């Protein structure tokens, strides 16, 4: 059974006569209020915590839903034994303890509760900022030791100071609100934060270098991705204001910890507060014991209220799904019916690829996205297709995004999303076009699904061309001048990079041209850099799908 073999949203199952009630197992500690939600909604619930692997395998086939935290390991073996299971709900964000591919293959929806601890994490960042400003941990230890070193701990006020926020999404925006209440000047760096959303939050949107130079306190609230890893590097720290203080309640790996220690030792930075570390649990660390460091053991989500919130949310989400088919915060499933899933699958893939194409080329904040559905695709569930586009568009910067939470994330960042549906007008029976407007430019890309079910690019920036989406691609824009293709081939040949296919389009002789090149393997960064240095090249970017 797939998750789509359920009543449509809004039509709860009536448990009368011989119709069985859905049954849920809670295998980790959840609030008693969560248990009551299941009961009140008409869902039978068992609470059995501390189960061994064998015990879980023995009983899991009797349940429609499974509610967990981090202790229960929902392995492929467990999923195989779960003959009735339709939903796994994680009270919290991380789902490393769930085999999502195995769950997806079996039609089991995996949900989490990504926003239940936002306020708690934001408050912890503010608490650490106060602790740094007034040296509270060290003063506390000194006072307990009977030293009464009143003149030793000379702090600073927060009022009037500049707070720099890296990542102004859900948590970062809450931090900004609290900091403004403390009469701080708030500046933010976030490529996906629109100017309109920045105005709404009362923050000044700036580039990273400007933020580093101006911030008295710098707090991180961005996911850990290839682009953000070590975003606070030795080079970045050198650009920070002397005497600045750093707070990280987001992810270990955002800060180069060796460079941070050097900056604290030299006096360039006045202090750092860390709730997360590159390796956790961090029982030994070079920064432990440092007089300028405040450290906590990943307590960002650790409040009674946050744990209560995620427990209640997961109970509501599982109940909604089992009773009505409504899917919220799913990591592996769009909100579509079984019939639509079969028909729309290739189009959903196309939509996500088109979004990913634009997203990998976008380096400034996105103001708006327009989606044009023409022909037969306009009669489909375009909401799901729009969600797939936005998920693909934002995923290069936000890897945890999915089709379900994409609209929420887009709204948080002030991105306007609009749809146009129309009858067939061009040569293709059906196609999808997306137009992405950023602070600096407008970019468009269109695609369709061929009869074999494979998505294809059919137009880029108004230039007609045809290409597949492949794992190793290179996107090049250039002036249409003789000798470019030969120069490109020479650079690739000298680097022993093999071309699998070459797709070219142009506005006209001597005008703008676009090349989409497919390769058998990754293109080295040095080769991409060399292509960028060719005089007629305007842009060269490696893409992956």
Task: Convert 103-132 into a string of H (helix), E (strand) and C (coil).
Answer: HHHCCCEEECCCCCCHHHHHHHHHHHHHHH
Q: Chunked in runs of 10, what are the mean pLDDT values of the chain (545 residues)?
A: 39 51 95 95 96 96 95 95 94 86 83 89 97 96 94 94 96 96 97 92 97 98 89 98 97 95 97 95 92 95 90 94 82 63 83 96 90 94 89 86 78 92 89 93 94 92 92 94 92 92 90 92 93 94 94
Q: Rounded to an integer, what distance in angstroms lies between the CA atom of residue 411 and that of residue 134?
A: 36
Q: Hey, what CATH topology would domain 118-295 get? A: Rossmann fold (3.40.50)
Is 298 catalytic? The answer is yes
Which of 214, 251, 413, 456 does the annotation list as catalytic? 251
Which of 280, 379, 439, 442 does the annotation list as catalytic? 280
Q: Rounded to an integer, what distance in angstroms lies between the CA atom of residue 62 and that of residue 77?
A: 15
Which pair of structure tokens corresponds to residue 280? Answer: 């956790």
Domain segments of the chain as ranges = 23-116+305-324, 118-295, 334-469, 473-545
Among residues 270, 256, 297, 317, the alpha carbon closest in space to that of 134 is found at 270
Q: Which CATH architecture has domain 473-545?
A: 2-Layer Sandwich (3.30)
Q: Rounded to an integer, what distance in angstroms lies between the CA atom of residue 468 and that of residue 460?
A: 13
Task: Answer for the pair 266, 291: CB distance below 8 angstroms, yes or no.
Answer: no
Which pair of structure tokens corresponds to residue 447? Answer: 């695609």
Which pair of structure tokens corresponds to residue 533? Answer: 């240095």
Q: Rounded to an integer, what distance in angstroms lies between the CA atom of residue 62 and that of residue 86?
A: 11
Name the DSSP letter for residue 379.
Answer: G
Please give the angle made by the CA atoms of 229, 235 and 240, to the nearest 5 degrees: 100
Q: Rounded to an integer, what distance in angstroms lies between the CA atom of residue 39 and that of residue 145?
A: 52
Q: Which CATH class is domain 23-116+305-324?
A: alpha beta
Close Cβ partners of 197 (under 8 Å, ≥ 6 residues apart)? 168, 412, 413, 414
Which of 134, 229, 290, 298 does the annotation list as catalytic? 298
Residue with tokens 């002397």: 242
Residue with tokens 């090349």: 515
Per CATH, 23-116+305-324 and 334-469 having the same topology is answered no
pTM: 0.72
Task: Answer for the pair 67, 26: CB distance below 8 angstroms, yes or no.
Answer: yes
Please give the angle made by the CA atoms of 29, 35 and 38, to the nearest 5 degrees: 135
Predicted local distance difference test score (pLDDT) of residue 404:
63
Task: Specify the DSSP element, H or E, that contains 388.
Answer: helix 382-394
Does the domain formed by 334-469 have CATH 3.30.1330.90? Answer: yes
Is 280 catalytic? The answer is yes
Where do the H-state alpha helices sit in 396-467? 406-412
Where do the H-state alpha helices sit in 399-524? 406-412, 484-494
């Amino acid at each position: 059974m797939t998750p789509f073999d359920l009543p449509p949203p809004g039509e709860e199952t009536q448990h009368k006569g011989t119709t069985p009630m859905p049954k849920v197992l809670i295998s980790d500690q959840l609030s008693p209020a969560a248990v009551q939600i299941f009961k009140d909604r008409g869902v039978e619930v068992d609470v059995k915590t501390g189960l061994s692997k064998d015990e879980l395998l023995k009983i899991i086939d009797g349940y429609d839903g499974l509610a967990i935290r981090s202790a229960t390991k929902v392995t492929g073996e467990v999923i195989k034994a779960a003959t009735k299971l339709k939903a796994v709900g994680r009270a919290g964000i991380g789902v490393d303890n769930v085999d999502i591919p195995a769950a997806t293959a079996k039609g089991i929806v995996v949900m989490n509760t990504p926003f239940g601890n936002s306020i708690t994490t934001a408050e912890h960042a503010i608490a650490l900022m106060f602790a740094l400003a007034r040296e509270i941990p060290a003063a506390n230890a000194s006072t307990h030791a009977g030293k009464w070193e009143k003149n030793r701990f000379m702090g600073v006020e927060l009022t009037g100071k500049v707070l720099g926020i890296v990542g102004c999404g859900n948590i970062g925006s809450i931090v900004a609100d609290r900091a403004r209440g403390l009469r701080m000047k708030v500046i933010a760096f976030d490529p996906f934060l629109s100017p309109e959303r920045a105005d709404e939050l009362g923050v000044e949107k700036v580039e990273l270098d400007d933020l580093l130079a101006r911030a008295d306190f710098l707090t991180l609230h961005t996911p850990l991705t290839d682009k953000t890893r070590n975003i606070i590097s030795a080079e970045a720290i050198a650009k920070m204001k002397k005497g600045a203080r750093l707070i990280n309640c987001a992810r270990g790996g955002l800060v180069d910890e060796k460079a941070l220690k050097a900056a604290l030792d030299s006096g360039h930075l006045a202090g750092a507060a860390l709730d997360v570390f590159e390796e956790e649990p961090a029982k030994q660390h070079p920064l432990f014991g440092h007089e300028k460091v405040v450290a906590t053991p990943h307590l960002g989500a650790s409040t009674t209220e946050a744990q209560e919130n995620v427990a209640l949310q997961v109970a509501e989400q599982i109940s909604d799904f089992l009773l009505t088919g409504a899917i919220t915060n799913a990591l592996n499933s769009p909100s579509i019916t079984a019939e639509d899933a079969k028909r729309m699958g290739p189009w959903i893939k196309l939509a996500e690829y088109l979004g990913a194409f634009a997203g990998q080329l976008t380096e400034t904040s996105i103001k708006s996205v327009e989606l044009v559905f023409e022909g037969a695709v306009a009669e489909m569930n375009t909401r799901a297709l729009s969600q797939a586009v936005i998920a693909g568009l934002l995923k290069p910067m936000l890897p945890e995004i999915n089709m379900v939470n994409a609209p929420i994330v887009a709204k948080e960042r002030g991105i306007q999303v609009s749809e146009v549906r129309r009858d067939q007008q061009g040569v293709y029976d059906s196609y999808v076009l997306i137009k992405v407007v950023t602070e600096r430019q407008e970019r468009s890309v269109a695609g369709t699904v061929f009869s074999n079910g494979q998505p294809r690019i059919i137009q880029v920036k108004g230039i007609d061309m045809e290409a597949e989406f492949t794992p190793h691609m290179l996107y090049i824009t250039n002036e249409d001048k003789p000798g470019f293709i030969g120069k490109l081939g020479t650079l690739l040949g000298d680097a022993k990079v093999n071309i699998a296919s070459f797709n070219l389009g142009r506005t006209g002789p001597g005008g703008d041209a676009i090349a989409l090149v497919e390769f058998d393997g990754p293109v080295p960064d040095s080769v991409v850099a060399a292509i960028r240095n060719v005089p007629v090249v305007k842009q060269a970017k490696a893409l992956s799908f």
